Every structure is written in structure tokens, then in C-alpha cells.
Amino acid sequence: MKPFDAHECSQLNELKIDMSALNMLAGWAPTGDILMMEQMPIFGGYTGGVEETTICDVATMIASFVIFDCDIHLDGPIHIRWGTTTTRETLKIAAHAAAALDFNTDFLLANQYYTLAGPCTDMCLLETAAQAITDTASGRELISGVASSKGVMQDKTTGLESRMMGEAALATCGMEIETVNEVLDNIVSLYEKNYAKAPQGKRFQDCYNVRKVEPTDEYIDIYDGVLRTLLDCGIEL
Amino acid sequence: MTAKKYVDIYEAYDRFYEGERVREDQWDYTIVPNNATMIKEKYDISFGPDIIPTDPDLTDRLFLAGMDMLLTTGFYNTDLGRVMYITEEELFEGLKMAPRKLTLGRGKEKCKCKARRGNAKSKPVVQGGPTGAPVSESVFVPMIESYVQEPVVDTIVSGVLNTVDGHPVTANTPWEIKATMAEIRHVREAMLKSQRPGMCI
């Protein structure tokens, strides 16, 4: 790793850390390395409800800076049933926690993306867009993704999901929050009824030409279709 | 009382070492949930239907509630089985230490990560990549290239190899270190092939 890269280490759920993380921090901090501390609070876990999980998330983020001396906090509120960051509840936790810190500190806050659906599906791209819109509008400084298929399926992630993440963020910058909330309600309503039958999607090697590193025509058609859907939802990418 | 200094990682360890002993199940199932519920009621935290909050008073109370949660509950070390605390004054000293901006990457790929305020017109830094998802050795480099070549992507977050040179990667073994080194090498190769060698990992 180079001085212009960032080192990542994790807290544990909730408000916990182990010696391994402390020792890594002790090695990186004195050399001036950039430190990104990660923690993904669990909605429906130890803290239970949306508000309680958000309070714990805010405490966790403050700890990253004031106890562990990190430079960026990498968040990722996750749904205990679905294992994703893109549900209505987890988006609400992420947005409220970020806004609370955004208006009261200058912390550099990041969020990471775990979608339920896999690459080359409408749902995966809609989930990604919803979170990018949420993170941008609530004042986050860095967005990190996308771990499609919950980040657990071999080879089921591709660059096109990151394009959606970035383009959705760009389109959101500067929008009125009331409008953003309407857009988000429209998008989340489209996919939240499909959690139990979310499409698995395709592997990178099945939706990209691996030699040319180009998405297939099928994936580009799906991407274009999602752009039209997002326009109907009130946002033009 | 004014804090003598902010808490650093060494002071944090000393406080853990001398901290109160608590069983981990007590922490998980009693202390953290009970404190979260108590603080929710104390600060009257209740969200409406909107995903992005629009009530500045609510976000201010939420910030105070989060500070209270940390100060009241403390932080738990799972290996030592002990809890450390900081004071409110130390917390405020720590807030001052947090950077407001960072430079990530180098050369043409250098990008600034700096504090935004609300839904600012400046975009967040876009970190593209598999975000820790498992990736086969055979497609690792082209998959990372698929992120590097996206103009909207500023920095890269890697995926995880579950084999290295065909050997399974087992956690907490030298093979895990070897795989991590291979991931970094492969990411740099993908950056070179896409002519963006200065991107931040």
C-alpha cells in the first residue's frame, strides 16, 4: 500500500472492537496513513428498531474519530433479514445518522453498498440508485460499492453497478430534499415488494466480454431501461 | 473540566486494560439495547415516513443522543472483556482532531475528499469495486478493470480472492496474507492496463 491509499479496519457490532483492530491501528496511525474505519450496524439486531440502531450508529461513528483516530468512517446499516443496505429501513438509518453528523461536525462519512439482486438486473441497479441518492442527499463524502448479490456470491459484481452508483449521485447533487424524498419513495416502492424473489443476476464473465472488458448488449439494454424507469421516478441521470 | 488531551489508540488500550469487566453477552443483550432504548426516550427520537430527515431539530437531538450513547455506554474490547469510557471534554477534543479533507490517489487520479454540507452541489468521492465480495483468480484483473475504466469512479475498493495460485485461502493463515498481497498486485495491474495508475485503493 502507498501513502495515497487508505487502510481499512473494522469495529464489531455494536460498540465493540478486538485487539487485532487496535494493533493494526497502532501500526498505521504513527506513519500518517489514511485510516478508514468500518462498521455496519445491524437493523433488527442487538439494538432492535430503526431509531435505536441509528442512535448506536451515530455513537459508533463518533467513536471512530474520537477514540480510534480514523480519517473516514465507512458505514453500512444492514437489514438482519435480507442482509442488504438498500431496504427502506436501512436507508432511513443511514440518512438520519449521516445528517445528524453532517450538520454538527465536519466528519468525512462514507457508506457501502450491498444489494439483494445480482448484476444484469433492473432490481440491482434500482437498489444501487436509491442508496446513492440517499447518501448524496444526506451529506456523505464517499460512496463505496457495489457488492451486488449481498457481496457473498462468487464473481457477481461488475463495474456497471458502480457507474449507476456514481451517476445517480451526480444527478442528486443540489436537489431539494423534499423532491429527493419523493423520488426515493418512488424507487424503493418498485423493488421492496420483491425481496423474497430477488433475481440472482449474472456473473461478471456472463454479462461482460471479459477479453474486451465490455458489458454485453443485454446488460446495456437493462441499464438503459433503468435510466428510463428512474426518469419516471423523477430523476434524470 | 478541560480535557488534558484527546484519546489516542495507546490511551484507549490502557483504558480498556484497566476497565470494568463485563461479559460479552451482557453487553450485547442488556447494556447496549437498554441504553439505546433509554436514550431514544430521553431525546424523544422518532422518525417520520421520509428517508432523508427534514427536521433540523430532530437531527440535532439525534447527534446529542449519539454522543450520550457513547459517553454513557462506553466501548467494549472483546479480547479483554472490558469496557473503556471517555469524558465529554475528551470527546470534543477528538472532534477537533478529525480531518475535514483528505487527498486520495496521486497524479492525474488525485481526488479530494472534503466535507460536504447537506445535499451540496459537489459530488461525493465514488469508490468503485466488489467491496469485499469473492472474486475468482481467473477474472480478478478484468473485473477490477471494469471499475477502473468507469470515468465516474475515483478510487477502488478491492474484492476478495478465495484462492491464490490455485491454493485455497484460509483465514488467519499465511495464505490469507499472500492472497491480500496478490489482490493489491492485481488491482495495480488493472489500473495500469486502464491507464489510471494513480488511483487510490
DSSP codes, B43-92: TT----S-SS---HHHHHHHHHHHHHHHHHH-EEETTTTEEE---HHHHH
* B90–A18 C-beta distance less than 8 A: no
Does the pLDDT value for residue B97 go beyond 90? no
Phi then psi for A40, rounded to 5 degrees? -115, 95
User: Do the beta carbons of residue A121 and residue A222 sit within 8 Å?
Assistant: yes
Chain A residues with CB-CB distance to B63 below 8 A = 58, 100-101, 103-105
Q: Is B189 helix (H, G, I), strand (E, B) or coil?
A: helix
Instruction: Please state, in angstroms and rounded to a whole number, the distance separating the CA atoms of residues B118 and A190.
Output: 26
Nearest to A100 among B59, B122, B133 (CB): B59
Inspect the interface and report whether the beta carbons of A25 and B9 lie closer than 8 Å.
yes
The residue in chain A having the minimum alpha-carbon distance to the alpha carbon of residue B88 is A66
- Check whether residue B118 and residue B180 sit in a common domain: yes
Nearest CA in chain B to A95: B52
Residue B35 covered by a domain = yes
Instruction: Name the minimum distance, in Å, from the CA of B170 to any CA of chain A.
Output: 16
Do B109 and B183 fall within a single domain?
yes
Residue A81 has pLDDT above 80, yes or no: yes
What pLDDT, on the 0 to 100 scale, is given for residue A32?
86
Cβ A33 vs Cβ A71: under 8 Å: no
Backbone torsion region of residue A55, taken as left when φ is above 0, otherwise alpha when ψ lies between -120 and 50, otherwise beta: alpha
Q: Which of residues 64-93 of A touch B (CB under 8 A)?
A: 65-69, 71-72, 88, 91-92
> B129 and B159 in contact (C-beta within 8 Å)?
yes
pLDDT tens digits, one per residue of A95-116: 999 999 999 999 999 999 999 9
Across the interface, do B75 and A178 touch by the CB < 8 Å criterion? Answer: no
Q: Which residues of A32-67 are buried (b: 16+ CB within 10 A; e: fewer)?
A: ebbbbbbbbbbbbbbbbbbbbbbbbbbbbbbbbbbb
Report the alpha-carbon distance of residue A123 to residue A188 in Å, rounded: 10
- Residues near B86 by beta carbon (within 8 Å), at least 6 away in sequence: A66, A67, B7, B15, B70, B71, B74, B94
pLDDT of residue A223: 98
Give the C-alpha separation, B170 to B87, whole Å: 41
How confident is residue A2, by pLDDT bands cut at 50, 70 and 90? Answer: confident
Is residue A14 reached through a cis peptide bond, with omega within 30 degrees of 0 on the bond before it? yes
Higher pLDDT, A211 or B171: A211
Please say which residue of B74, B97, B120 terminates a domain.
Answer: B97
Residue B4 clears pLDDT 80, i.e. is over it:
no
| B125, B178: one domain | yes
Residue A99's pLDDT is 98
State whether B82 and B38 are in the same domain: yes
State the Cα–Cα distance between residues A58 and B49, nearest whole angstrom. 20
DSSP state of A12: B
Q: State which of B97, B127, B150 marks the end of a domain.
A: B97
Tell me the residue range of the domain where A43 lies.
6-233
- Does B93 lie in the same domain as B107? no
pTM of the complete model beyond 0.90 = yes
Q: Enumerate the β-bridge partners of residue A142.
A: A110, B125
Query: Between chains, do A141 and B113 touch, taking CB under 8 Å as contact?
Result: yes
CB contact under 8 A, A151 and B94: no
Residues B143, B117 share a domain: yes
The reply to whether B2 falls in a domain is: no
User: Are B59 and B82 part of one and the same domain?
Assistant: yes
CA distance, residue B122 to nearest chain A CA (Å): 6
Give a yes or no: residue A1 inside a domain: no
Q: Which of B131, B153, B162, B196 would you mutate first to test chain A, the one with the most A CBs within 10 A?
A: B131
Looking at the structure, do residues B111 and B84 belong to the same domain, yes or no? Answer: no
Task: Identify whether residues B52 and B87 lie together within a single domain.
Answer: yes
Domain that holds residue B135: 103-193
Query: Which runs of E-coded beta strand occur in B95-190?
Result: 101-104, 111-114, 125-128, 134-135, 155-156, 160-161, 163-164, 167-168
Which conformational region is residue A121 in: left (phi greater than 0), alpha (psi within -120 to 50 degrees), or beta? beta
How many CB pairs below 8 A link A and B? 358
**Same domain, residue pair B13 and B93:** yes
CATH at A139: 3.20.20.460
Indicate the residue of A12, A151, A173 with minimum beta-carbon distance to B78. A12
My answer on whether B179 and B129 are in the same domain is: yes
d(CA B85, CA B197): 43
Residue that terminates a domain, selected from B65, B97, B129: B97
Q: What pLDDT, on a 0 to 100 scale, did the predictor assign at position A219?
A: 98
- CB distance A98 to B59 below 8 Å: no
Our count of domains for chain B comes to 2
Helix, strand or coil, per DSSP, at residue B163: strand
Closest chain B residue to the Cα of A119, Cα to Cα: B130
Q: Say if A41 falls within a structural domain.
A: yes
Tens of pLDDT, residue by residue over A125-168, are 999 999 999 999 999 999 999 999 999 999 999 999 999 999 99
Give residues 174 to 203 of A whose Cβ lies within 8 Å of B. 174-175, 177-178, 180-181, 184-185, 188
Asked casually if ipTM beats, i.e. exceeds, 0.85, the reply is: yes
